[in-house]
Amino acid sequence: MSVHGQAKKVTTHTLQEMKRAGEKITMLTAYDYSLAKLVDRGGVDVILVGDSASNVMAGRDTTVPMSLDHMIYHAQCVERAVDRALIVVDMPFGTYQGNSAIALESAIRIMKESSGHAVKLEGGSEIVGSIERILTAGIPVMGHLGLTPQSIYKFGTYTVRAKENDEAEKLISDAKILEEAGCFAIVLEKIPAHLAKQVSESISIPTIGIGAGAECDGQVLVLHDMLGITTDFSPRFLRRYLDLETQITNAVQQYCSDVRSKDFPNDEESY
């Protein structure tokens, strides 16, 4: 807390200081005002407006269809709710690959229209030109290596990445490239824990793991997965903290039953 009683805002520098001090960084996704408010109140350091909104909010199979307008809409909703956390917004597929001028334009739209604090891009050496150009505008960039869901049609599966030497070596080299380019942190998704440890020890910027073991500098989960809303998705790395699927379904059933039996509303609930 600051002297004025307001929560001290988390910045990209805070995260780097946390790594230096050996303090773990917490990150969760959010896509809407109401849940973002609760996540921020819960004390999470970073809120990711992830393109996983495509799966959990829109019911799509992949993140590929997400547009810049979709991401900006979700980020605007989140930004209105958040007092403390750093807000990172995913750049959607097709808005930064292969053309650094378009990447910069897309990142500027996100920052201006949503008031998010940073952007996240998937990939290593292939997209470093875009990352460098975005950074020239003073926009902080988070990297994302390992399983990069926007490339699902290249991988063909959501299985663990970088188990073989070639891919592991490329990942280590990509992490260094992203650090040198100026990224402030890197998400490591679904890679062996020993590799994530090696990467985390070999770079000075924080790593945030999802399915990448305990030695990353921080952890991230998709909010709807850890709250038990999306129960058809059960990877080994996921820890569920609530069973909201059951609780919400039970509440809806109880409401229907109360209305049908004329129990709701009662006199106290009427004017």
Q: Which is nearer to ligand KIV, 181 or 187 (CB)?
A: 187
Residue 100 · residue 129 · CB < 8 Å: yes
- Shortest reach from residue 55's CB to ligand KIV, in Å: 8
Cα dihedral value 173, 179, 185, 189, nearest 10: -10
Q: Which is nearer to ligand KIV, 52 or 100 (CB)?
A: 52
Span near ligand KIV by CB under 6 A; candidates 5-13, 45-53, 99-107, 193-201: 45-53
Q: Which residues contact 138 (CB under 8 A, 6 or more apart)?
A: none
The rounded distance, in Å, linking the Cα atoms of 44 and 49 is 13
Q: Which of 40, 79, 90, 225 binds ligand KIV (CB under 6 A)?
A: 90
The rounded distance, in Å, linking the Cα atoms of 71 and 31 is 9
Residue 121 · residue 106 · CB < 8 Å: no
Span near ligand KIV by CB under 6 A; candidates 48-56, 81-89, 177-185, 192-200: 48-56
Residue 171 · residue 213 · CB < 8 Å: no
Q: Which of 30, 50, 93, 225 binds ligand KIV (CB under 6 A)?
A: 50
What tokens were used for 14? 């805070």
Q: Which is nearer to ligand KIV, 7 or 64 (CB)?
A: 64
**Which residue is listed with tokens 């990448």?**
212
Q: Decide if 201 is catalytic.
A: no
Q: Which amino acid is at 139?
A: I
- Shortest reach from residue 53's CB to ligand KIV, in Å: 7
Residue 111 · residue 139 · CB < 8 Å: yes
Residue 210 · residue 46 · CB < 8 Å: no
- Annotated catalytic residue: which of 105, 126, 189, 201? 189
Question: Contact between 52 and ligand KIV (CB under 6 A)?
Answer: yes
Residues 117-176 that bind ligand KIV (CB under 6 A): none
Q: How many residues bind ligand KIV (CB under 6 A)?
A: 11
Q: Which is nearer to ligand KIV, 48 or 68 (CB)?
A: 48
Question: Contact between 185 and ligand KIV (CB under 6 A)?
Answer: no
Q: Which of 40, 45, 51, 225 binds ligand KIV (CB under 6 A)?
A: 51
The rounded distance, in Å, linking the Cα atoms of 187 and 217 is 10
The rounded distance, in Å, linking the Cα atoms of 106 and 104 is 5
Question: Contact between 47 and ligand KIV (CB under 6 A)?
Answer: no
Q: Which of 28, 91, 187, 229 binds ligand KIV (CB under 6 A)?
A: 187
Residues that are catalytic: 189
Which residues of the shown chain bind ligand KIV in the complex (CB under 6 A)? 29, 48, 50-52, 90, 187, 189, 210, 220, 222
